[in-house]
Structure 1
């Protein structure tokens, strides 16, 4: 019993327009899932459709930092597709911001998207599953190796704090579901450096002298498809198996 058990089921992927989210969308389409790609740039999600893939793609505009936008997206899925069976919380932001002189607006955006938005999406998905009696659903957070250790990178402590929060929220969710007698599974994938559009944009805006971002192209990195593969592995496990965390590092990484 592998991922084929989810063929035809509905998976919602946040932050789906590019990078890791886009790779996850296409990987799920190839395995026959009905995929809802949620992103602010819904037109970019539409471009991810695969002509020969057995799955079907729907693009929904949504901003994970805006609760009303999240609720509207989940309502669309409920009204048009019946509800969410799998949620992949991929959306995330990582501006460079110092703890001693950073801007409050940057801190707030990190926490609004990486922590609060993720939590709202999770709540809505779980409530939907429980309400429909779905007992084989799955919630997967795309975390980061920064959620396990504070890397020596200037301006990334607030981001790391948000990802540490994701790790704690995942374990809290698992225990909440166990207390409810639910068999909905949860897990997280924690990758090292992935050279996505988002990270390259951050690097371009990084202050001169930032060692990490100035040497970005010289640091071993993963491809987005590597993270998507970890998601597929997690979904492919027998219902008795709950893979809580997969840490995926580039070979030779110094971090």
Structure 2
């Protein structure tokens, strides 16, 4: 992690779960971290929980990644105040219990695609444009994907709706971005991290109680994987990393 000391990482969906864990891990390892989330009070709580020396290098910024205007303004703020993002962790994601075939369900599917797919596209675009403008040739973009981006298992009592298709889109986007970065002549890396079940707030409480107990990863396990991926040597790119808890049956 030595080459990332005091360089800037932006983490989306930083108010809880994997995003918060990534913020804590990256700032503990010496990076300047900008945590983005809709719940600004959660970002303030995260900053307050950090040791004083780390809190100085953590910046919470309110941003809804499903809103392109907010994304553009946020990355402009990062450029102006911190010099620009060298690492981007696209973690923000939402799920809904609305079935695809439910009547009058337009709002939920649209929100999922806006956040899980377009939000990743917009954040990556703004981070990469900033890197190109600043002649940063060794940036890294991480996408928190899912095993659902590769296969959709049947889990009794759980409705994946458009969450699964949105993650499939991220699998394709990872390869498209790899090609785009390469065609631009840059060594900026792209990595998809696909965890199995993770014990986070994205799983509704009523679902946690209704489905059969199954093994889950901790958010910290995924954060460890992100750190592992961004500290590979210059000639090594981890394109896809799948992580499953021991005992996972799907």
TM range (shorter): over 0.9
Q: Give 1:180 deviation, angstroms.
A: 1.1
TM-score by length of 1: 0.92
Residue by residue over 1:89-135, the C-alpha shift from the partner in whole angstroms, topping out at 9 and shown as x without a partner, is: 00000112222226111110110000011100010001000111000
The secondary structure found in structure 2 opposite 1:121 is helix
Q: Which residue of 2 aligns with 1:86?
A: 87
Shift of 1:245: 1.1
State the 1:52 CA deviation.
Answer: 5.4
Q: Extract unaligned runs of 5+ from structure 2.
A: none
Matches within 5 A, 1:21-170: 21-49=19-47, 50-51=50-51, 54=54, 56-101=57-102, 103-153=105-155, 154-170=158-174
Q: Find the aligned partners of 2:231 and 2:113 in 1 and give their Cα distance.
A: 31
Once the two structures are overlaid, the 10-residue window that deviates more, 89-98 or 152-161, is: 152-161
Gaps (5+ residues) in structure 1?
207-211
2:184 corresponds to 1:188 = no
Aligned residue in 2 for 1:251: 246
SS at match of 1:141: strand
Whether the 8 Å CA contact 1:93–1:114 is kept in 2: the answer is yes
Measured on the aligned residues, the alpha-carbon RMSD in Å equals 1.5
CA contact (8 A) 2:11 2:23 kept: yes
1:178 aligns to 2:173 (yes or no) = no
Q: Which SS does the other structure have where 2:46 is aligned?
A: coil
Structure 2 CA distance for aligned equivalents of residues 163 and 80 of structure 1: 32
Q: Which residue, 216, 219, 226 being the options, matches 2:214?
A: 219
Pairwise CA distance, 1:158: 1.2
Q: 1:42: Cα distance to partner?
A: 2.0
Partner SS state of residue 138, structure 2: coil
1:198-224 Cα deviation digits (max 9, x unpaired): 21xx242x5xxxxx86125x1100100
